[in-house]
Amino acid sequence: MAVDVDKCTGCQACVLACQVENNIPLNTQDRFERNRSIAWIRVERYWEGEFPDIKARFIPIMCQHCENAPCEPVCPVFATYHNAEGMNIQVYNRCVGTRYCANGCPYIVRFFNYWEPVWPESLRNHLNPDVTIRSRGIMEKCSFCVHRIRRGVRKADSEGRPLNDGEITTACQDSCSTDALVFGDLNDPNSKVSEMKKSDRYYTLLHHLGTNPNVFYLAKIDEDREVAHASHESEGGDGHE
Amino acid sequence: MASLISSIRERNKTTPTWLKVLIPILAVGGLGVVAVLAAVVAFVVTAWLGQPVPVLGFDQTFEQPISFPHTVHAGTGQLTDASGGLRMNQHGEPLEALGLDCTFCHRTVTTQASAYVPPVAQCAFCHQAIGPDSSEPLTQLRVNAGIIGDDPSPINWRRVHRMPDHVRFVHEPHIRYLTANPSAIGNAADGVNSAASVKPALTCSTCHGDVAAMEQVEQVEALKMGQCVDCHRDNGAPTDCAACHH
């Protein structure tokens, strides 16, 4: 997945779309205050510069699906693993809730279900039947909308054709009004994400940790290069290697 | 020997009465605990290996609100009644089973995730005309369909085959693959594998058994993950966890 930070307006539509698509329990105020709210994708906001020359910067952060993921080797029951498609998979029915993976994740994108999820009666019928409802004591995280991937693969199979680039979209990508989020196959050299990866704005989050994420970012374009450059160093990610 | 008997008599004299009463009670109680534990272990082991013993609501079959006979609709050959005699129509001719394809009623099975159970209106397509008025289940059906009376309501069929909530089973690719590869069909009714052309419905028996021969549908296969994985391995289907668990 590619995230063009320059296009992100910080509207949070992706957060909401993800919440609805993946049956994420409602983040009520008491859950939020205890830092136990669940958001598979979040939009972080940074301030750049000093008032009055201040700029708001947004960066959507979801599971980075690292090739060298710190969450995977610490799981005692192999509930999280890397699959052949390069995705970091969370198997809910294997998870026993040790929370080691969340402690290991430098991006803080793994969430623990401290409570049984409940929805008001009026929202019962909105639940997505393709996504498992995670019960209490289960770790969860962005799955790259794996149910949509399965659906796309199945559709292509039944029609007897190869999968087209851009055919599979994630919920956050669908909701993004500026197309800042792009999902695709990095193994396909002609896909849109592969094109984006060649950009000189390319960088990955917390690059120095060596997690080798499958989600990459395209840096903000700013006339005021000095401010932009300073922000990159403070984030720890170097976009110009 | 004599000294042993005398020593036991000696001890008997010194044992207090309450202990003499308590020891047999404890012995019987201990045996009871062992028996209960053995029953529990036996239940768990059988359920682990195959289907659970049908006790305590672990039955593989249910009484449906209307006793729908798959034998009449999907079976073949002449129909017999409970005593083994041939069933006759009002003209005195023997009744033949319809031999309908599964997909005649379970219409979405070749295109969608679930093989739907037909709405009562679909039963009524045929049964507003077909079937005797004297039949008790058909009368119930016609009431549900609103043909008799003025209060139509859906039938609450009880679900027999149920996957756990963390499994996403989709019928469509399975039916498609098995239709294209009849050699992969297992547990099939006789003659299925040798059939020149495989109907989509015949593939159903791989997991559901010979439903056409069942008066009341029951779960034949345990449908455990081991079976899924075995079949997926044999046929080159994905064995990635996220193929089914997501």
Q: Could you give all domains of chain A from N- to C-terminal order, each with its CATH number?
A: 2-235 (3.30.70.20)
A residues 113-142 lying closer than 8 A (beta carbon) to B: 130-133
Q: Which residue has the tokens 């059939």?
A: B195
In a domain, B69, yes or no: no
Closest CA to A134 of A213, A59, A2, A22: A22
Least confident of A98-112, B15-29, B191-205, B216-230: B191-205
CA A17, CA A109: separation in Å to the nearest integer? Answer: 17
Choose among A84, A85, A131: nearest Cβ to B246. A131
In a domain, B97, yes or no: no
In a domain, B28, yes or no: yes
Same domain, B190 and B237: yes
Q: What is the pLDDT of residue A106?
A: 94
| Cis status of the peptide bond prior to A162, with omega within 30 of 0 | no
Is B173 in contact with A154 (Cβ distance < 8 A)? yes
Q: Are strands A80-82 and A88-90 parallel, antiparallel or unpaired?
A: antiparallel
Q: Please, what's the b/e burial string for B38-77 (b: 16 or more CB within 10 A of its CB; e: otherwise)?
A: eeeeeeeeeeeeebbeeeeeeeeeeeeebebebbbbbbee
CA B187, CA B204: separation in Å to the nearest integer? Answer: 10
Residue A238 has pLDDT above 60, yes or no: no
Instruction: Report pLDDT digits (tens) over B124-140.
Output: 888 888 888 888 889 88
Q: What is the pLDDT of residue A114?
A: 94
Contact at 8 Å (CB) between B125 and B145?
no
Least confident of A89-98, A161-170, B106-115: B106-115
For the entire predicted model, the pTM comes to 0.81
Q: What is the pLDDT of residue A78?
A: 93
Q: What is the pLDDT of residue B201?
A: 58
Is A91 in contact with B245 (Cβ distance < 8 A)? yes
Q: What is the DSSP letter of B80?
A: B
Instruction: Report pLDDT digits (tens) over A34-64.
Output: 999 999 999 999 998 888 888 889 999 999 9
Same domain, B182 and B223: yes
Confidence band of B196 (pLDDT split at 50, 70, 90): very low
What range defines the domain where residue B180 resides?
171-243
CB proximity A84 to B under 8 Å: yes
In a domain, B180, yes or no: yes
Q: What is the pLDDT of residue B199?
A: 59
Residue B25 has pLDDT above 80, yes or no: yes
Same domain, B239 and B179: yes
HSE, side-chain direction, 13 A CA sphere, residue A147 = 19
The residue of chain B with its CA nearest to that of A85 is B240
CB proximity A3 to B under 8 Å: no
Is A146 in contact with B242 (Cβ distance < 8 A)? yes
Same domain, B140 and B181: no
Chain A residues whose beta carbon lies within 8 Å of the beta carbon of residue B172: 154, 158
Chain B residues whose beta carbon lies within 8 Å of the beta carbon of residue A81: 241
Same domain, B212 and B177: yes
Instruction: Report pLDDT digits (tens) over A125-152.
Output: 889 989 999 999 999 999 999 999 999 9
Number of domains in chain B: 3
Tell me what the pLDDT averaged over chain A comes to: 89
Same domain, B140 and B202: no
Confidence band of A236 (pLDDT split at 50, 70, 90): very low
The mean per-residue pLDDT over the stretch B25-33 comes to 91
Instruction: Report pLDDT digits (tens) over B40-94.
Output: 998 888 888 878 777 777 777 778 888 888 888 888 777 777 677 777 776 777 7
- A43 forms beta bridges with A60
Q: Name the CA dihedral angle for B238, B243, B245, B246, rounded to a multiple of 10 degrees.
A: 160
Same domain, B229 and B176: yes
CB proximity A227 to B under 8 Å: no
The residue of chain A with its CA nearest to that of B245 is A91
Q: What is the pLDDT of residue B190?
A: 45
Q: What is the pLDDT of residue B200?
A: 57
CB proximity A83 to B under 8 Å: yes
B residues 216-245 lying closer than 8 A (beta carbon) to A: 240-243, 245
In a domain, B107, yes or no: no
In a domain, B102, yes or no: no
CB proximity A146 to B under 8 Å: yes
In a domain, B176, yes or no: yes
Q: What is the pLDDT of residue B187?
A: 52
Question: What ipTM, to 2 d.p.?
Answer: 0.80
Mutate to test the interface with A, among B109, B168, B174, B246 (most CBs of A within 10 A): B246
> Residue A54, exposed/middle/buried by CB under 10 A (0-12, 13-18, 19+)?
exposed
Is A81 in contact with B241 (Cβ distance < 8 A)? yes
